Structure 1
């Protein structure tokens, strides 16, 4: 009889352990958390039409104290977009303008 009690106790302990493991796995949320990277400012604010690109380019040129070059009307839309982005990054503040006391670490 002692052998049967040992086997019964072992089987009961196994079933309790298996049930506890099942309960824990059911309660745990296995769904992956989805995160979305925010769009960069240049792509979110980038005009999508030729007229929008021309207006944005003109505004960036005005900030720099420049005017549109002669013959700009003949430029393809892609070239206007490139010139707008170039001027946008040229007009961007420098690190010294943002934080003059910042020390560069090597």
Structure 2
């Protein structure tokens, strides 16, 4: 049978074990606020920076669409090539229905 002194001793030991466990948990837990950084736009990050890169990317996008470069494309400026590439890139982008066919539009 547990006597008064033994009960107090068990209570103190249980308290100390609990306090030590609580201390260990608070030391391990990271309380620093989490910072979320939005990723860059895919088109901005993947946009070729050279004329040759733009021509290659535009050609690849045209091939995906089953099209070919128009005659006289060599005379296009780098900005015009970039515009054509981005336009075709967005035209080739999948529609919402293609991504999630069962999605119901909510009003």
Per the shorter chain, which TM-score range?
A: 0.5 to 0.7
For normalisation by structure 1, the TM-score amounts to: 0.67
In structure 2, distance between residues paired with 1:105 and 1:43: 30
> What is the number of equivalent residue pairs in this alignment?
76
Instruction: Give the Cα–Cα distance (whole angstroms) in 1 for the partners of residues 99 and 35 of structure 2.
Output: 33
d(CA) in 2 for partners of 1:74, 1:38? 35
Gaps of 5+ in 2: 1-31
Aligned residues: CA RMSD: 1.6
1:52 aligns with 2:53: yes
Aligned to 1:61: 62
Separation (CA, whole Å) in 2 of partners of 1:32 and 1:47: 36
TM-score scaled to structure 2, two decimals? 0.66
Q: Does 1:82 align with 2:96?
A: no
SS of 2:62's partner is: helix
- After TM superposition, the runs of 4+ consecutive aligned structure 1 residues lying more than 4 A away are 31-35
Question: Could you tell me how far apart the structure 1 residues matched to 2:79 and 2:53 are?
Answer: 13
